[in-house]
Chains A and B, each alone.
Chain A
Amino acid sequence: MSAGDLGAAALRAALFLALWGTGAAAYASWRRDARALASARIAAGVGFGLVVLAAVAMMFALATHDFRILYVAENNARETPLFYSIIGLWAALEGSILLWTAILAGATAYVAFRGTAAIPRLATTALVVMFAMLTFFLLLITTPAADPFVRLALAPDNGNGPNALLQNHPLMALHPPLLYLGYVLTSVPFAYAIASLIIGEGGDRWLIATRRFALVSWALLGVGIVAGAWWSYAVLGWGGYWAWDPVENAAIMPWLTATAYLHSVMVEEKRRLLRTWNLALVIATFSLTILGTFLTRSGVVNSVHSFTQSAIGPLLLGYLVTILVLSVGLLLWRSGRLRDAGAVGAPLSREAIFLFQNVIFMVAMLTVLLGTLYPLIAEAISGAQLSIGGPYFDRVEIPLGLALLFLMGVGPQLPWHGASRATLERQFTAPLACAAGGALVAVATGTTAIGAVLTYALAAFVAATVVQEFARGIRARGVLHAEGALTAFANLFRRSGRRYGGYVVHLGIVLVALAIATSQARTVDAERTLAPGETLVIAGYAVRLDALRAVHEPQRDSVVADLEITGNGASSQLHPALVQYPSSASAVGSPGIGAGVRDDLYTILAAYDQKALSWATIRMRVIPLVSWLWLGGAVVGIGAVIAALPAPRRRIARQVPLAEAPAPAK
């Protein structure tokens, strides 16, 4: 039995188990039947094992170049290195849906075992939803729509090899799985939300139970997006990291609604408000992940990421419409039970700021959605061809981003319910002084774009509020628990990880904002055709073309320019190249990047003398602070981990009901 047969059989068995599990979990939820639940659990666990087995079988088939399988023949070649063979699992449509299904099966198993142990009725109902979704994806990959194990009658001697762009950089191993994890894990809060609506709980148990899942999926999505930006920067060879490409847009949209949700959740927890809204946000986030999958895989939009066209498009669209109709229907049906307890506080209360922040996140998402789909709609209606690209999105999204940056500084500094004038002065004096400092730094370093100056001011403002919070927290612990500053700092994370981890996330966003503003406003570039020995000068850097050479590797041929770069106290060698893979019609640029804390030196071999290698056209971009973007992404990830880690158990003494606790002596 070959790996392909094994994988195909495993998927068909998993489909049977998913169908069984859906029924068993539904019966268990309806009749509160423990045996049915036990059966559903086994189906979830074994099903997960089977899908993982299928994914491993596909990796094995790719690694052993088993060209009897169509997917392997199309996305692998004998020359493909082992590493790129294995990650070929997500190099094309069928494999990536298999990976997606494997993650979904894992999430289903988690809900089946851990979830149902914590809150049986709600989680068992959520398990029905998870199984139903899993069934859909297993149907996709066991029917011709996206079957990864389709056989060829006659195995070719060699395959086509992966898409050139997908075998040019190791980040390809990181970016898609992170994004898929983020995408798929949003299904858990969604399933709980739907379950809560189905059984008509009206409370917020679903939200508490999936808080950590929401945070983790949000963080994975965010880090996956930054990893994608990094990949784009390192591979696509134009010196940018974000092009408002339809698929980038598809990834940022659920991230925007998920970010709104992480904040409005706090309003529900602390103030018992915004119940319907939070359900709507969870539904929107999940639906947007499916919309993104649909856009990427249906060939509707043109994108770097477009997969080949297949029957999967209409199926995904049907799935999306079904989910939207059922979710919105449930929400309307149960809206009577979703009464908020009380009202939002004064305009200067934390919950009011969260509300405005939610409005801006929603507008940001809707604008991306509109801008992505509008050219399609316009062409369908009037036949007019128009483009909506970077300049449009920059003009709309940057002001929204600045408003969000401002609210990010204000919100955490305001108490719930409302703030007095004295509180405002205590919280905002130092941060505003820092904001002025930030604006002055921007002007002093020669920044002239208003957006960039504002970003610097707001970044300093937010950073100052975070530092102020840490300083106060450390001082308070010092007084209350007689801890030293370092111990107190560590204990802030240990005891109040959610709050202080959140501040770390905010610092990461500040780094990202500074990186975007600076690299957008202050990138310089120059292009010249050089003969070996000649030099191009740009922004204080001298770029000398040392040599131009041809390099042959089994899987590709390249022409490499050896550049010597000196200036601004640095000296480095960079090697931009043009790479020709047998599978692709045109050569792929492979930039030579000298990363630095201050400037990235981004060099591109734009053209060369194909006869005698006697000249090369070199383009060089000096991109300031762009590496802060990757750093900021990592800081966001670290902050999210701190926030997601469970706190140590509290001491029993604190469990005294508070009505009877003595009033603080003050």
Chain B
Amino acid sequence: MTARIVIAAALLAIAATLVLAARPHEATADERVDRITAELRCPVCQGLSVKDSPSETARQMRDLVAERVREGKTDAEIEAEFRTAYGDWVLLSPPIASWSGLVWLAPLAAVAAGVVLATGRVRGGAAVASAEPSAAERAALRERVAREEAAEG
């Protein structure tokens, strides 16, 4: 009984911290610049974001984003400006809307297919009902212990 209370309390506490972490908060200007520049590709680097890149070009792009944030532009407007200038290529995470949305769909579909396949192989029914093993199960268990001992030796 105590075990169940502890488990319930623990799950509640975890849920509470997640809610606390997920609560919306107003991003500061710096946080917004970081968030936007992390999504933009540095045009002169090997796959680094504008946020991470130490290059001169990236620094100028960071300054430009900071300026747009100061001007009161929204994240979407700033992103759109860069997309117009550089094309979709500038986004490190391809937009969901276009046909490149396939790269988002594929992992989801793969998880779903995998879980269905795996579940199909798992024996139906819930957990083992009886904690007390039968004679046959006892024999099987003994054999398993022997095998594991042999394996781990």
Contact = CB atoms under 8 A, between A and B. Distances in A.
Given A388-B92, A498-B152, A367 B125 contact: no
Nearest to A356: B118
Contacts of B52: 238-240, 243
Interface in B56-79: 56, 59
Interface string B108-143: 001100110111011101111111000000110011
A367 B109 CA distance: 11
Interface of B: 3-4, 6-7, 9-11, 13-14, 17-18, 20-22, 25, 38-39, 41, 46-49, 52-54, 56, 59, 87-94, 100, 102-104, 106-107, 110-111, 114-115, 117-119, 121-123, 125-131, 138-139, 142-153
Shortest 10 CB-CB contacts between residues of A and residues of B: A389-B92, A359-B114, A391-B93, A436-B13, A418-B128, A436-B10, A439-B17, A658-B146, A432-B10, A425-B3
B122 A345 contact: yes
Contacts of B4: 425
A269 B151 contact: yes
Contact of A344 (B6, B56, B122, B149): B122
B146 A448 contact: no
A396 to B, nearest CB: 5
Contacts of B91: 386-387
A419 B125 CA distance: 12
A391 B92 contact: yes
A453 B13 CA distance: 12
5 contacts: A238-B52, A303-B46, A388-B94, A392-B92, A661-B142
Given A270-B148, A432-B7, A343 B121 contact: yes
Contact of B103 (A303, A374, A497, A606): A374
Interface string A350-373: 001001101110110011001100
A571 interface: no
A27 interface: no
A245 B9 contact: no
B49 A348 contact: no
A346 B130 CA distance: 13
B93 A359 contact: no
A391 B46 contact: no
A388 B39 CA distance: 10
Nearest to B121: A344
Nearest to A426: B3
A286 B46 CA distance: 27
A435 B11 CA distance: 9
A385 interface: yes
A376 to B, nearest CB: 13
Interface string A192-228: 0000000000000000000000000000000000000
Interface stretch (A52-60, A89-97, A647-655): A647-655
Contacts of B3: 425-426, 429
Given A385-B88, A450-B21, A366 B110 contact: yes
Contacts of A154: none
B92 to A, nearest CB: 3
B106 A370 contact: yes
A576 B142 CA distance: 63
A589 to B, nearest CB: 6
A118 to B, nearest CB: 16
B126 A439 contact: no
Contact of A428 (B7, B87, B145, B148): B7
Main secondary structure of the interface of B (DSSP, over half): helix
Interface of A: 237-240, 243-246, 269-270, 302-304, 343-349, 352, 355-356, 358-360, 362-363, 366-367, 370-371, 374, 378, 384-392, 395-396, 400, 416-426, 428-429, 432-433, 435-436, 439-440, 442-443, 447-450, 453-454, 457, 495-499, 527, 589, 604, 606-607, 619, 647-650, 654, 658-659, 661, 663-664
B122 A439 contact: no
Residue with the highest number of chain B CB atoms closer than 10 Å, among A239, A395, A432: A432
Contact of A650 (B22, B41, B92, B153): B153
Contacts of B102: 374
B153 A386 contact: no
Given A419-B127, A649-B153, 5 more contacts: A302-B47, A387-B92, A499-B152, A619-B54, A658-B145
B18 A450 contact: yes
B56 A607 contact: yes
A171 to B, nearest CB: 19
Contacts of B25: 448
A349 B119 CA distance: 12
B117 to A, nearest CB: 7
Nearest to B129: A420
Given A435-B10, A442-B17, A604-B54, A417 B128 contact: yes
B153 A420 contact: no
A419 B114 CA distance: 23
A371 to B, nearest CB: 6
A392 B122 contact: no
A391 B38 contact: yes
Contact of B118 (A246, A355, A421, A606): A355
Nearest to B95: A386
Contacts of A418: 123, 127-128
Contacts of A432: 6-7, 10-11
A421 B152 contact: no
B18 A453 contact: yes
Contacts of A396: 104, 107
A420 B137 CA distance: 14
Contacts of A238: 48, 52-54
Contacts of A270: 144, 147-148
B123 A439 contact: no
B111 A363 contact: yes
